[in-house]
């Protein structure tokens, strides 16, 4: 790490909170239903399309825009509606103290839409602890791991990638970050290791230990 304080680029879902139990299943179902309605296909075909575009492009949205002319803002708005978001969030309150103690700027860097990202940050109380939020709209709808997403943020914030630490649950996003010169923190409880990961922690509450080693 170069001299000066680090800049922490923090993923949202499954990094700052646990989206697996309630939020991700709801989003996946909403995306499938959106595809059914707007492409006129049955449930099985909609599921296949959603998964194929996610694997092929890193985001279902990109495939829909490229092949079907889908309006990205409409898609994100319709697929990120939640009947009771506060009850769906799983969050460790200890993370607030962790982020407060981290030296340097803290920027949320998410593939999710802005209205949802800001809602989660507000409900968890993390909105008061971060300096900026980059949702997929701010990334010109180029989600991670696309290098364009990273370059858009770096240019807008006038950041040297060698000062940045990406904190993520998705390995593919960490690979891009490492290739750009960033330090990388993988939030994962799995056994897999990677040469693209500088530190692996089971929870973002472990970031204090990472900060002490920078």
pLDDT value at position 2?
47
User: Hey, what CATH topology would domain 7-19+89-213 get?
Assistant: Rossmann fold (3.40.50)
**Mean pLDDT, the chain, whole residue set:** 96
Stretch (H or E) spanning 198: none
Q: What percent of the chain has pLDDT over 70?
A: 99
- Please name which of 59, 19, 26 lies closest in space to residue 169, comparing C-alpha atoms: 19
Q: Determine the average pLDDT of the residues in 17-39.
A: 97
pLDDT at 5 over 90: yes
Q: What gap in Å lies between CA 64 and CA 35, rounded to an integer?
A: 9
pTM: 0.94
The correct answer on CATH 1.10.150.450 for the domain covering 23-79 is yes
Q: What gap in Å lies between CA 183 and CA 213, rounded to an integer?
A: 12
Q: What percent of the chain has pLDDT over 90?
A: 94
The 10s digit of each residue's pLDDT in 118-159 is: 999 999 999 999 999 999 999 999 999 999 999 999 999 999
Give residue limits of the domains in the chain: 7-19+89-213, 23-79
pLDDT value at position 214?
83
pLDDT at 205 over 50: yes
Q: What gap in Å lies between CA 97 and CA 119, rounded to an integer?
A: 20
pLDDT value at position 1?
52
CA-based R_g, the chain, Å: 17
**Which pLDDT band, with edges at 50, 70 and 90, does 3 fall under?**
low
**What one-character-per-residue DSSP string does 86-151 give?**
HHH-B--THHHHHHHH--SEEEEE-SS-HHHHHHHHHHHTGGGT-SEEE-TTTTTT--TTSHHHHH
Enumerate residues 6+ apart whose C-beta is below 8 A from 195.
Answer: none
């Amino acid at each position: 790490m170069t001299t000066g304080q680090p800049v922490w680029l923090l993923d949202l879902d499954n990094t700052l909170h646990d989206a697996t139990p309630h939020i991700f299943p709801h989003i996946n179902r909403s995306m499938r239903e959106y595809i059914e309605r707007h492409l006129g296909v049955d449930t099985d075909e909609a599921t296949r399309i959603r998964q194929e575009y996610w694997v092929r492009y890193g985001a279902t949205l990109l495939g829909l825009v490229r092949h079907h002319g889908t309006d990205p803002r409409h898609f994100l708005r319709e697929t990120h509606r939640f009947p009771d978001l506060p009850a769906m969030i799983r969050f460790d309150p200890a993370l607030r103290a962790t982020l407060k103690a981290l030296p340097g700027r803290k920027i949320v860097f998410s593939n999710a839409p802005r209205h949802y990202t800001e809602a989660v940050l507000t409900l968890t109380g993390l909105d008061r602890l971060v300096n900026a939020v980059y949702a997929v709209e701010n990334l010109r709808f180029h989600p991670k791991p696309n290098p364009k997403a990273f370059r858009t943020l770096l240019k807008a914030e006038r950041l040297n990638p060698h000062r940045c630490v990406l904190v993520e649950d998705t390995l593919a996003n960490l690979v891009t970050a490492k290739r750009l010169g960033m330090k990388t923190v993988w939030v994962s409880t799995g056994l897999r290791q990677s040469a693209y990961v500088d530190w692996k922690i089971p929870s973002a509450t472990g970031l204090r230990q990472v900060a002490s080693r920078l």
